[in-house]
Chains A and B, each alone.
Chain A
């Protein structure tokens, strides 16, 4: 295997650099996916049928918690990569754990929020607006869930092997994914909640 030791571990082999490049491409596709969901949402957001509008069901409190938690987790995943670059396994694992914990809190708040909506009679079946809301938020939530499972698997691997060419590469790619979910959330926060509450 040809290794260029001037590069950070996650980029060092050709395969690693291909994987990171490939993942950027995948994120490109993800951007299109979420853009389409946003386009659907913005087309349908005032088609509320006989159901409630966003203004009636959105609550700023839980949303602020979700935002704060997810933004913080984006920072802590950055700390994971920073520790990794310095070859510090333990701090990396701690920050990784905090990241996933924050992700779990986010998911918990989001699920509670969904339950509240459903109890208020705002379900997926109620109106086009709510269908698009649930699918947009749900797709993001499903991504976070996948991220949690993936992250747990990665932590186990780092715990076993430390930072190798493979685990470093995977961690870096995971961090890209996690930042991406954060960016998507910022758009959800602005175009769904702020727009709806205004």
Chain B
């Protein structure tokens, strides 16, 4: 292999990216050394098993990936702003929309959601950590290794270029001969294993570690949504594991699963991909529903309307999510019967989703609605997501889908679902739970300014795409001629995307500004909220709760504040906590190199790294780590220090 095959060459933009990666890495290394932060970084972050810190790392990684995916999006919109534009060539554009899709779904939306899950769920159920803290760290580092591996593809070897769906035979070695799709199959595989472990971890946490008195039907709605999401993860991700493994075998070892000869079947990939892919959509959307439920209840100063139907609607959605995958390829010609059945199951999802919309609306009825930033995002979600939902029903109708399929109409639809459904939710959740993590609120005025930029620009960017679709513009076209008449609407969309970028910059600036100047919150409950996480101090002590809470109903903290019941009964006792460990981090690094060597088919190093993984598992098996106990004295000191600040 020659150097110019190893590094991507010939693109000024990519040279720029390479330089900036080197500069940024050097800056980080020098900064850490200069400020003597290596030890801090290792002790407090890289080796941590604390669910809150792992959650923060997930969120930081997600924000980084949001930046990467956002730059991809801006480049695409830049290219499409004018007919016959020459900003990007076909190959580069193909790589960019592929990575945009993969990164936004798998390396931005998922980790952001999982980050919030990590931060919030143990607190909401009154637990001191997740069921398997060490495994949780492994999950994070596997995700991070996968994400990094995927991201280096654009400078080393070339990015995948067959779309985030990577349909065969296009993604086969014959039609996509670069290592790009090797990265796809291996990086996502590594991150996916991490996600699967997260699923196992959180089901066990939620089912086995709830506070005394918290029956299933007294769990906060966000916890419910996470439980259902994790069940979907558990049943959907193994399908992805298999699909990616078969893809890897086809590309690296010459097997014949999806090939065009020797009995291979290209549509088998599409089926496997969407059997995972459709539930995946609900994996990123159900927790969002949970976040909105918490926020809308809090800022309406009312309990959630129709709690039971909210739970049941999520259960129904999760079941249906496994029964709709073929609607992604009505056009493969599988007849009226199959298309009819899948149309009906798909449209049926609108029913439980509608139930949720009406329940949110009725939660606000007779409430005292306060328009805080997290609430604004939640409120914006309702009308915008409903547009996404009703266009989803339109797409579900097979006969009509023959005209929408693969067009900008579809692109508009799924952005109208995923951005209000997931991105607004994680931003709302970020604003909402931020003071719990860091002890101060993000600035409201700046938050609202960013909000308006994002909301308006979002609609300017994506609403025109509905019309472009109906005009016959297909997705993934890197250019179009002037005679098509697609120009003006595309320009409008591109202008909107700049507005979105400004909105996100304002949001990041808000975080920076608030870290420096925002007044500290001393109550632990800045929003006057309802659930258990707000009953402990902000920032949260590592053991979460000095005494494990006792719960009698929904919204236990609200009841406690109203004088209904006592949350913390009993004496402070010694608390058992897990020890930090460097093993998950090391395992992540080994997986990264294993994946990297596999991508380039460097077998000997790959086998060595593979043995390294087995050795790490053995090390873990032979290790005897019984954790540590925080003595009562230390707990009392911490508690009084945290209370002392309140005075």
Q: How far is the CB of A147 from chain B (nearest CB, A)?
A: 12
Judge if A109 is at the interface, Cβ distance under 8 Å: no
Tell me if A124 and B253 are in contact (CB < 8 A). Answer: yes
Judge if B2 is at the interface, Cβ distance under 8 Å: no
Q: Which of A17, A125, A153, A170 contacts B256 (CB 8 A)?
A: A125
Beta-carbon contacts under 8 Å, B236-257 to A: 237-239, 241-243, 245-246, 249-250, 253-257
Tell me if B264 and A18 are in contact (CB < 8 A). Answer: no
Q: How many B residues touch A, CB cutoff 8 Å?
A: 43
Judge if B131 is at the interface, Cβ distance under 8 Å: yes
Q: How far is the CB of B259 from chain A (nearest CB, A)?
A: 8
Which residues in A have their C-beta under 8 angstroms from that of B132? Answer: 18-19, 22
Q: How far is the CB of B244 from chain A (nearest CB, A)?
A: 11
Judge if A191 is at the interface, Cβ distance under 8 Å: no
Judge if B261 is at the interface, Cβ distance under 8 Å: yes
Q: Which of B207, B246, B621, B624 contacts A153 (CB 8 A)?
A: B621
Beta-carbon contacts under 8 Å, B201-215 to A: 201, 203-204, 207-209
Tell me if A36 and B272 are in contact (CB < 8 A). Answer: yes
With A22-B132, A29-B234, A126-B262 known as contacts, the answer to whether A40 contacts B242 (CB < 8 A) is yes
Q: How far is the CB of A62 from chain B (nearest CB, A)?
A: 23
Which residues in B have their C-beta under 8 angstroms from that of A33? Answer: 238-239, 241-242
Tell me if B614 and A21 are in contact (CB < 8 A). Answer: no
Q: How far is the CB of B84 from chain A (nearest CB, A)?
A: 42
Judge if B40 is at the interface, Cβ distance under 8 Å: no
Residue of A nearest to B235 (CB): A32
Tell me if B200 and A32 are in contact (CB < 8 A). Answer: no
Beta-carbon contacts under 8 Å, A99-150 to B: 124-132, 134-135, 149-150
Tell me if A43 and B262 are in contact (CB < 8 A). Answer: no
Beta-carbon contacts under 8 Å, A29-51 to B: 29-30, 32-33, 36-37, 40, 43-44, 47-51
Tell me if A36 and B242 are in contact (CB < 8 A). Answer: yes
Judge if B365 is at the interface, Cβ distance under 8 Å: no
Cα separation A53 to B254 with both chains bound (whole Å)? 19
Which residues in A have their C-beta under 8 angstroms from that of B35? Answer: none
Judge if A61 is at the interface, Cβ distance under 8 Å: no
Residue of B nearest to A19 (CB): B132
Tell me if B263 and A127 are in contact (CB < 8 A). Answer: yes
Tell me if A131 and B256 are in contact (CB < 8 A). Answer: yes
Judge if B622 is at the interface, Cβ distance under 8 Å: yes
With A22-B131, A22-B204 known as contacts, the answer to whether A124 contacts B254 (CB < 8 A) is yes
Cα separation A29 to B196 with both chains bound (whole Å)? 8
Cα separation A112 to B189 with both chains bound (whole Å)? 30
With A40-B268, A135-B245 known as contacts, the answer to whether A128 contacts B257 (CB < 8 A) is yes
Q: Which of A18, A29, A51, A153 contacts B237 (CB 8 A)?
A: A29
Judge if B576 is at the interface, Cβ distance under 8 Å: yes
Judge if A157 is at the interface, Cβ distance under 8 Å: yes
Judge if B616 is at the interface, Cβ distance under 8 Å: no
Judge if B265 is at the interface, Cβ distance under 8 Å: yes
Judge if B1 is at the interface, Cβ distance under 8 Å: no
Which residues in B have their C-beta under 8 angstroms from that of A29? Answer: 196, 199-200, 234-235, 237-238
Tell me if A44 and B239 are in contact (CB < 8 A). Answer: no
Tell me if A157 and B268 are in contact (CB < 8 A). Answer: no
Which residues in B have their C-beta under 8 angstroms from that of A44? Answer: 257, 263, 265, 268
7 A/B residue pairs, CB under 8 Å, sorted by A: A14-B208, A28-B234, A28-B235, A36-B239, A128-B259, A128-B263, A153-B621
Residues of A within 8 A of B (CB): 1, 14, 17-19, 21-22, 25-26, 28-30, 32-33, 36-37, 40, 43-44, 47-51, 124-132, 134-135, 149-150, 153-154, 156-157, 166, 170
Given contacts A25-B234, A28-B235, 17 further A-B contacts (CB under 8 A): A21-B208, A22-B204, A25-B199, A29-B199, A33-B239, A36-B243, A36-B272, A37-B242, A44-B257, A44-B263, A47-B264, A128-B257, A131-B249, A131-B255, A131-B256, A153-B622, A157-B622
